[in-house]
Amino acid sequence: MGIFNWDDLRFFLAVARTGRLTVAARQLEADHTTVSRRILALEAALKTKFFERSPQGYTLTEQGEQLLAHAENIESQALAVASELGGADLSLSGTVRIGVPDGFGTYFLAPELGTLAERHPSLTLQLVALPRTFSLSKREVDIAVTLEQPTEGRVVSRKLTDYRLRLYASKDYIDRHGAPALPEDLAGRLMVTYVADLIYSPALEYFVGLEKYGPRHYECASVVAQLEAVRAGVGPGILHDYAARNYPELQVVLPEISFLRSYWIVTHAEIRNLRRVAEVHAFMLDRVNARRRLFIGGK
């Protein structure tokens, strides 16, 4: 095995995690030709092919998978050293990426994080609020909010909060169609709901219990789109209490239809104690605790 440049592992990790030179280059603030050259240099030094190249991107070979495990261990040890010795981390500089469900990110965390950003001018916060799961092991994010407690991987998790969802309709819809008095009154009504094929967690399957009443579907893939459709009077829909309470035109209908779910806050064990990650983690816990009635108290 030849001698290689340790810094090439940064380029390897970026390509392994993103699968594309251009995306890796953007993350590394380098051009894609430099990234390609560093990958080729690493493969030449170790006399091993780590990626299969195709028009769809870069896929790890079996040897690449083996190197990925070692490279992530090295990365984790470097982060631990940075945390223990302080240096730049003590100034709370750098970037923390937070991956959250779109509803929680849009209607709660986005306005709350502004306070932390103002407090630490050298800290860059990246809020990724999307209807999907995030991989901590691939370093897609530093902190994740999940709908279920993780049971695998080297992660640290704790419950962030419970939250409630109920059936809402707009005042305009109620004026035009009347409010359903019984669940059976949903029969034939157009209801705003999710796209079943795109559900990424069983915790999101609210509509299953309502199917027996025979409503028609208007399906939206994101929580944001669902809320906006209900606000526009398309039909009733299951919404988060903490989001719906921001809009006085939304009213709870059929209050017996209620769902209690939970959010979990999760970090990778190796970076949990990095000061910038720990500070953001603590801030999120503090803000949720301070406003817990938003999540379980309703309107």
**Any domain includes 193:** yes
The SS3 of residue 151 is coil
Q: Does 1 map to a domain?
A: no
Say yes or no: 168 and 255 in one domain. Answer: yes
Q: How far apart are CA 16 and CA 284, in angstroms?
A: 30
Do 153 and 271 belong to one domain? yes
* pTM of the predicted structure, to 2 decimals: 0.73
Angle made by CA atoms 48, 154, 5, in degrees to the nearest 5: 30
Of 55, 85, 115, the residue at which a domain comes to its end is 85
Residue 290 structural domain: 92-161+262-296
Domain limit, last residue, from 35, 59, 85: 85
In this structure, the answer to whether residues 172 and 255 fall within a common structural domain is yes
Q: Apex CA 89: angle with CA 84 and CA 92, to 5°? A: 140
pLDDT in tens, the chain (299 residues): 457 788 889 899 889 888 889 888 888 888 889 999 999 999 999 999 999 998 889 999 999 988 987 887 787 677 666 656 555 444 567 789 999 999 999 999 999 999 999 988 888 999 999 888 888 877 789 999 999 998 887 889 999 999 999 999 999 999 999 999 999 999 999 999 999 899 888 888 888 888 888 899 999 999 999 999 999 999 999 999 999 999 999 999 999 999 999 999 999 887 887 888 999 999 999 999 999 999 987 55
- Alpha-carbon gap, residue 215 to 202, rounded angstroms: 21
184 and 131 within one domain: no
**What pLDDT, on the 0 to 100 scale, is given for residue 88?**
47
For 47-71, the pLDDT digits (tens) are: 999 999 988 899 999 999 889 878 8
Question: According to the model, what pLDDT value does residue 61 have?
Answer: 92
Task: Mark whether 56 and 79 lie in a shared domain.
Answer: yes
Give CA–CA dist 21/59, Å, rounded: 11
Number of neighbours of residue 117 by Cβ within 10 angstroms: 12
DSSP 120: -
CATH number for the domain spanning 46: value is 1.10.10.10
- Please tell me whether residues 251 and 268 are part of one structural domain: no
What token pair was written down for 50?
Answer: 């780590």
The answer to whether position 44 is within a domain reads yes
Is 2 part of a structural domain of the chain?
Answer: no
**Residue 48, domain member (yes or no):** yes
**Same domain as 157, residue 284:** yes
- On average, the pLDDT of the chain sits at 89
User: Do 143 and 188 have their domain in common?
Assistant: no
Residues 112 and 186 both lie in one domain? no
Burial 14-38 (b: 16+ CB within 10 A, else e): bbbbbebbebbbebbebeeeebbeb
**How many structural domains does the chain have?**
3
Same-domain status, 234 and 286: no
Same domain, 153 and 192: no
Strand, coil or helix: 121: coil
Q: φ and ψ at 255, to 5 degrees?
A: -60, -15
Dist. CA 81–CA 75, nearest whole Å: 10
The domain boundary, picked from 85, 110, 134, lies at 85
**What is 177-208 written as a DSSP string?**
H---SSGGGGTT-EEEE--GGG---GGG--GG
